[in-house]
Amino acid sequence: MEAGFNKLQDFISNSRNIVFFGGAGVSTESGIPDFRSVDGLYNQSYKYPPETILSHQFFMKKTLDFFNFYRNKMLFLNAKPNKAHEKLAELESLGKLKAVITQNIDGLHQMAGSKNVLELHGSVLRNYCIKCHTFYDVTAVINGEPIPKCTCSGIIKPDVVLYGESLDSNTINQSVNAIANADVLIIGGTSLGVYPAAGLIDYYKGNKLVLINKTSTPMDTRANLVINDSIGEVLGKIEL
C-alpha cells in the first residue's frame, strides 16, 4: 500500500494535467448513501424500488410519489465536502487538475471550491420548470410541497438525469475531451459497473490510470495503479 501511495504522490507531483473521475464512493464518505449499494437505499422498504421511482416515466405518472421519495431520500443538504473534495479543489487551484467528472448530484465538489465540474447526472441544486424552463434552487423543491410548481403553474423538475433520460451531450463531450487529453486519470469511489463510466475511460490514452476504491473493480487489470482504500484518506494524504 505504501509503495502504491508513493507512486500516486509521484504521478500527482509531476503532472499539470490531472483529471478526476468520481463515483458514489466520493459522496458516501460525506455521509450520502449510495442508492446502488446493497446496504443503501435498495435495501430499504418502499412501495417501489428506487430505480423505478427515479425514472422519467414514474416522474411523469406518479409525480407526487416521486417527490415524497426524492425529498426524503435524495436530498442531503447538510452534507459537507470531505478530504477528497478538498484536495481536488486545491489541485485545480494550483493549475494541476483540469476537470472533475462526477456521477454524483450533490454539488459537494463546487462547495469545496472546484470550478470545472462535469456533472454527468446533473445536480439536485438546480431545478427548472418543465413548461417555461425558469430555473429554481433547491429551496423551491423543499418548500414546494406536495408538488413544486412554477409561477406559470408548470411542475418544477430537478435537473438530475432520471432512468430513461439521456445524459447531456455537452457534458459528455467535455468529459471525453478532458479524459482524452489527460496525463493522469484518477478514478475514485466507483466500481465502474455503471454506464457511462466504463465507456468514458476508453478515451484515456496515457499510462497513468489510477483506480482508488475500497474494493476491487472489473477495471483493475487495465489500471497502472490500484489502491484499495478510502478515497478521502488517500487523497487527503497527498502533499502539494
**Planar angle of CA 166, 168, 172, nearest 5 degrees:** 110
Is the separation of the CB atoms in 108 and 84 below 8 Å? no
Residue closer to Zn ion, measured from CB, 140 or 219: 140
**Measured from the CB of residue 171, what is the shortest distance to Zn ion in angstroms?**
24
Say if CB 227 and CB 8 are below 8 A apart: yes
Cβ closest to Zn ion, residue 79 vs residue 138:
138
Q: Which of 56, 85, 121, 133 is catalytic?
A: 121
- What does the binding site for Zn ion look like in residue numbers (CB under 5 A)? 129, 131-132, 134, 150, 152, 154
For the bound state, the minimum distance from the C-beta of residue 139 to Zn ion, rounded and expressed in Å, comes to 16
Smallest distance, Zn ion to C-beta of residue 71, A: 20
Q: Is 85 a catalytic residue?
A: no
Residue keyed to cell 487538475? 97
CB of 51 to Zn ion, least distance (A): 28
- Mind telling me the catalytic residues? 121
